[in-house]
Amino acid sequence: MPSDTIVFNDHPLVIHAQKAADADAAAAPHKSLSLTAQAEFEIVAGEDAGPNAALPKFRMVAYTGGPMKVAGWRHPVVIDLAGLAIPSQSRPIRFGHDASAGVGHTSAVAVEDGKLVASGVISRDTHAAKEVVASARNGFPWQASVGASVEAFEFLRENQSATVNGREVQGPLNIVRRATLGEISFVDLGADGGTTASIAASGEAVGAGGSDNGGTAGGETVPGSSSAGTPDPVRDLRAQMAAETDRIAAIRRLCAAGGGTHPGIESQAIREGWDATRTELEVLRASRPKPPAGPAIHAQGHAGVTQNVLEAACILSGRLENPEKHCNERDLEAASRAFGRTMGLQELLLHAAWANGYSGRTFRDWHGVMDAAFGRHIEASVGNSTISISGILSNVANKFLLEGFFSVERVWRNICAVRSVTDFKTVTSYRLTGNDGYEKVAPGGEIKHGTLGEESYSNKAETYALMLSIDRTDIINDDLGAITTVPRKLGSGSGKTINEVFWAAFMANGGFFTVGNKNYITGADTALGIDGLTKAEVAFMDQVDSDGKPIGVLPSILLVPTALSAMGSQLFKSLELRDNTAAAKYPITNPHQGKFRVEVSRYLGNPKFTGNSTKAWYLLADASDLPIVEMAFLNGQEAPTIETAEQAFNRLGIQMRGYHDFGVALQDPRGGVKSKGEA
């Protein structure tokens, strides 16, 4: 089984799609040496007309969208299918991820109901393709392995939750946010050797024993089996063909209901496997009347347009991912009906102005629209404003700001403790120390008093901020993208600032990681490898408290620069390492496999930061056990805030300011060990 077909957090691993008699069982995690997901897998005879008529076909549910337990990884993994890029519907099918062992190609790959579904034909004239088909006829239970590259992931901490693939998941777990599908391979052994699949080829039953009179798998009835218990692949194939015929007929009926005006929807629905419900929804959306073109508005606004509807329209027009997470369905439906996905900035300002009593119909009166939109000179008869343009811009901008904020590296969040502070004063935290060991009770039952001392650590939140503007040109050009691009930049800028402040404090630590503190080791034998990691582990484990006794905390995080990412991944995941020098070419058992979660930061080796090194690395305790560094956020607000207002009198446009209140400070030096990685 290959081990380098997917890169997760810059580390190679394999996603295996396993066959299962029951697709619902795929929600249960399975343990293996690689990332695994159960799958429903079947090979059927090709019966369609055309060049592929005689070729065997397959269909699989490659991933069900739920959490997966990965051997060697501390927490489960979920792939966010909303972020899975499928470059084309035709993806290569191989044998064992070997590019020289082609088997066929897919004809359709899609996400359906929170699952990844693929189908295609065994189209290659290779030894591998012939072996797959021949073995399938003999009843061999083939499994599949999906190769993809991962560009971004997020770690969901304990007590945090998120919605992924239409279901709520609870931390701690890893969420793969962006990935690109590569290829799919047949393999003979996945993570769960007990999985099975119903197989049919060339229109003939090919059960494990060649019989078509009954059989079960693992005590469960295989789909398509007869009442006697044996698989009936011919009947199963006919049922699938009938269901597909009914699906296509329903799609064509729905698309023809509007006078045959939706051929594009019809072909896409058939090609991508849509059901009737989704097809009907797309037809209804396409049938809505389109808003008039151009910035001029010749009505006093759409009836029922509220502030929430305008916010939803901005989100739809800005193409924010997963809009249903930010607005309720009713507001999104009203926004789509009133504005489609093309609302302009002028239209937004006009609606706010109308709500505040503005009587003009177009944007020609620039100053009048802006005065009314921002609530100036409102006539008494109008009463209170029902729409606040400042509130809309701030709410919408905050959502796009968060998208930018979470797009930058967040390794700092995985290695530090987080605390909430209520003001900007220096706060001091205390950790109790002293004699807390139990002693034998003497005759008479007297219990001796222990002694407690304390160690203190301080931190302080400070404000970091930036202001950007949307000028009059953007408004005249009716560029709604300005209120989405600017906050994205403010969000990513805040994320970069946190990284710069955090890593500057972490690395510029001349008096923290020292030989005197017994948390700094040097020498050629500290280079990252089995021996170097062993030496660091011993140094960490030998640390003592103020009474000279072991601290009782275990290391759990291996923090490395990008130059050591591959070695860190090998030490974490490989059962053995091979020395390929001329003197030693034998495998060496890896005693650290699965011990320490690897975190990779590009800041550790960046020459702009004091204390940078491409060879130095760190072995750290989990922050919940013994934090070596702490982040303090004002009122617990871990994300930045954005505010909007009209420009000052001497400027034309709208201004946006983003600010973030946080502080970082090193804490207990016994929470980690730094290895220089060289002499």
**Which of 93-102, 110-119, 204-213, 612-621 tops mean pLDDT?**
612-621
Q: What is the mean pLDDT of residues 122-151?
A: 78
Least reliable range by pLDDT among 71-75, 274-278, 428-432: 71-75
Residue range 413-425: mean pLDDT, rounded: 92
Residue 189 confidence (pLDDT): 59
Residue 88 has pLDDT above 90, yes or no: no
Judge if the upstream peptide bond of residue 67 is cis by omega within 30 degrees of 0.
no
Residue 560, pLDDT > 90, answer: yes
How far is residue 631's CA from residue 342's CA, in Å, rounded to a whole number?
A: 41
Highest mean pLDDT among 34-48, 113-127, 496-510: 496-510
d(CA 554, CA 538): 11
Average pLDDT of the residues in 41-49: 51
Q: Are the beta carbons of 456 and 430 closer than 8 angstroms?
A: yes
On the question of pLDDT at 223 being above 80, the answer is no
Q: What is the mean pLDDT of residues 42-61?
A: 61
Minimal CA–CA distance to 299: which of 337, 338, 329? 338
pLDDT greater at residue 361 or residue 544 = 544
Element at 107 (helix H, strand E): strand 98-112
Q: Given this model, what pLDDT does residue 13 score? A: 39
Whether 19 has a pLDDT exceeding 50, the answer reads: no
Residues 628-639, mean pLDDT to the nearest whole number: 92
Q: Is the pLDDT of residue 679 over 70?
A: yes
Lowest model confidence (mean pLDDT) among 45-49, 108-112, 232-236: 45-49
The conformation of residue 446, written as its DSSP 8-state character, comes to: P
Determine what percent of the chain is predicted with pLDDT higher than 90.
21
CA–CA separation, 66 and 85 (whole Å): 18
CA angle 599, 98, 191 (to 5 degrees): 60
Name which of 123-132, 145-154, 321-330, 554-563 the model is least confident about: 145-154
pLDDT above 80 for 527: yes
Burial 362-390 (b: 16+ CB within 10 A, else e): ebeeeeebbbbbbbeebeeeeeebebbbb
- Across the chain, mean pLDDT equals 74
Rounded to an integer, the average pLDDT of 473-479 is 64
**For the residues 35-45, what does the mean pLDDT come to?**
46
* Residue 372 confidence class, pLDDT cut points 50, 70, 90: confident
Residue 522 scores a pLDDT above 90: yes
What pLDDT score does 323 carry?
A: 83
Alpha helices (H) along 457-589: 472-476, 482-507, 530-541, 565-573
**CA atoms of 620 and 599, how far apart (whole Å):** 10
- Residue 398: half-sphere exposure toward Cβ, Cα within 13 Å: 15
Sketch the domain layout of the chain as residue ranges: 6-231, 236-287, 460-679
What mean pLDDT is predicted for residues 474-494?
A: 74
Between CA 180 and CA 169 the distance in angstroms is: 22
With 0-12 CB in 10 A as exposed, 13-18 as middle and 19+ as buried, what is 355?
Answer: buried
Query: How far, rounded to the nearest angstrom, does the alpha carbon of residue 254 sit from its chain's CA centroid?
Result: 35
Q: Which carries the bigger pLDDT value, residue 154 or residue 22?
A: 154
Position 85 pLDDT exceeds 70: yes
Average pLDDT over residues 182-194: 60
* Confidence tier at 184 by pLDDT (50, 70, 90): confident
Distance CA 269, CA 415 (A): 46
**Contact indicator for 116, 148 with CB cutoff of 8 Å:** no
- Average pLDDT for 656-679: 92
Of 23-32, 328-337, 565-574, give the lowest mean pLDDT range: 23-32
d(CA 396, CA 205): 58
Which positions ≥6 away from 368 have C-beta within 8 Å? 353, 358, 360
Taking 70 as the threshold, does the pLDDT of residue 432 lie above it? Answer: no
The more confident residue out of 577 and 542 is 542
Of the two residues 424 and 387, the one the predictor is more confident about is 424
Contact 18, 192 (CB under 8 A): yes
Reply yes or no on whether the pLDDT at 429 is more than 50: yes
Percent of the chain with pLDDT over 70: 71
pLDDT-derived band at 210, boundaries 50, 70, 90: very low
Average pLDDT over residues 460-489: 75
Model-wide pTM > 0.75: no
Query: Looking at residue 417, what is its pLDDT?
Result: 92
The residue among 288 and 650 whose pLDDT is bigger is 288
Residues 140 and 159: their CA atoms lie apart, in Å, by 44
If you average pLDDT over residues 579-584, what whole number do you get? 60
Point out the least confidently predicted range of 5-9, 235-239, 349-353: 5-9
Q: How many angstroms separate the most distant Cα atoms in the chain? A: 97
| Amino acid 377: pLDDT | 53
pLDDT given at position 120 = 83
3-state helix, strand, coil in the chain (%, to 5): 30, 30, 45
Residue 641 pLDDT greater than 80, yes or no: yes
Q: Determine contact, residues 373/349, Cβ cutoff 8 Å.
A: yes
Q: Per-residue pLDDT for 141 more than 50?
A: yes
pLDDT band at 199 (very low <50, low <70, confident <90, very high): very low
Amino acid at 478: D
Residue 447 has pLDDT above 70, yes or no: yes
Summarize pLDDT for 294-320 with one digit per residue, the tens.
333 333 444 457 888 888 888 887 778
Q: Is the pLDDT of residue 229 over 90?
A: no
pLDDT value at residue 35? 37
Categorize the per-residue pLDDT at 650 as very low, low, confident or very high, splitting at 50, 70 and 90. very low
What backbone torsions phi and psi does residue 176 show, to the nearest 5 degrees?
A: -75, 110
Residue 18: band (very low, low, confident or very high) from pLDDT cuts 50, 70, 90: very low
In this prediction, residue 11 carries a pLDDT of: 36
Give the pLDDT score at 524. 94
Confidence band for 467, pLDDT divided at 50, 70 and 90: confident
Residue 499: what pLDDT? 95
Q: Distance between CA 405 and CA 401 in Å, rounded?
A: 6
The answer to whether residue 34 scores a pLDDT higher than 60 is no
Res. 281: pLDDT tops 50: yes
Alpha-carbon distance 625 to 543, whole Å? Answer: 15
Please give the pLDDT value at position 444.
Answer: 74
For residues 625-654, give the mean pLDDT. 79
Contacts of 450 (CB under 8 A, 6+ apart): 434, 435, 436, 437
